[in-house]
Structure 1
Amino acid sequence: MLSPKGREEIQRLLEGGLVEDWAEAETTLRNVTRMLLTTRPDLLRLYFEPQAWREITSWPQKKAANAIIAALRTGVVDALGRPEIVNRDQARFYLLCFQDDLTERVDHWCRDHPEECPRRAARERRGLDHDHDADT
């Protein structure tokens, strides 16, 4: 989905210290994407293969923006060599890539770290963690 230019720009961000931690990476990507979408969509277009960009821009605005940020997140994970998950922020970042293989890795990590699992926190915020409530 990302073009060589997109991968190059992600590498530049990484070399500039984007991923000192995964939460910071998420914030930086969102800010960069928001800035490019509002001021330089012509430049952002170059980050994607032409067919992918045509598809993305045919979608409603919110769906398109979410696809763009997910693709950029995946580009970060790929550029870093898809490292093993070591903390909740990284697991959350992987989930937000919306890639099946990364989601499977998060699920595996969550089995070993249930208290840190980002999926658990989401269930509790929505009040859906019935099994947990029954155990306490």
Structure 2
Amino acid sequence: MLEAVHRMRSSEDFRATVRGGVKVAQPTLVTHVLPPSADHAPASTSVGFVVSKAVGSAVDRNRVKRRLRHLMRDRLDRVPAGSRVVVRALPSAAAAASSTLGEQLDSALWKAGGGAGPRAADVRGAR
């Protein structure tokens, strides 16, 4: 599935995802998920990360980006194919453990409609 993922680079892609996607806020990150539609039906999923200077030094920001990229790579199958995802790190992300970031990313993807593995299936099955 990694071949079907592209890094989001265009500011217009970021803007469209943030404005039109489902926003879910967590203590360490904010996630925007824009599912594919008739207007926007790319062949692959696009993922972008926003890590501002408020997070810390360049070293800290790059570390947070690497951690989020790794965590997102393991969760791509939980996002509808062709979706656009933007993950914005908050300043608290620099000090958070990877397990905490992963749990919050799982929760954000589930709330945005992307699902989060067995937990999402259990919750949806209980409705």
Fold shared, TM-score > 0.5 on shorter chain:
no
The higher relative CO (CA closer than 8 Å, separation ≥ 6) is in 2
Q: Which has the larger radius of gyration?
A: 1
Scaled by the length of structure 1, what TM-score is found?
0.27
Higher strand proportion: 2
Scaled by the length of structure 2, what TM-score is found?
0.28
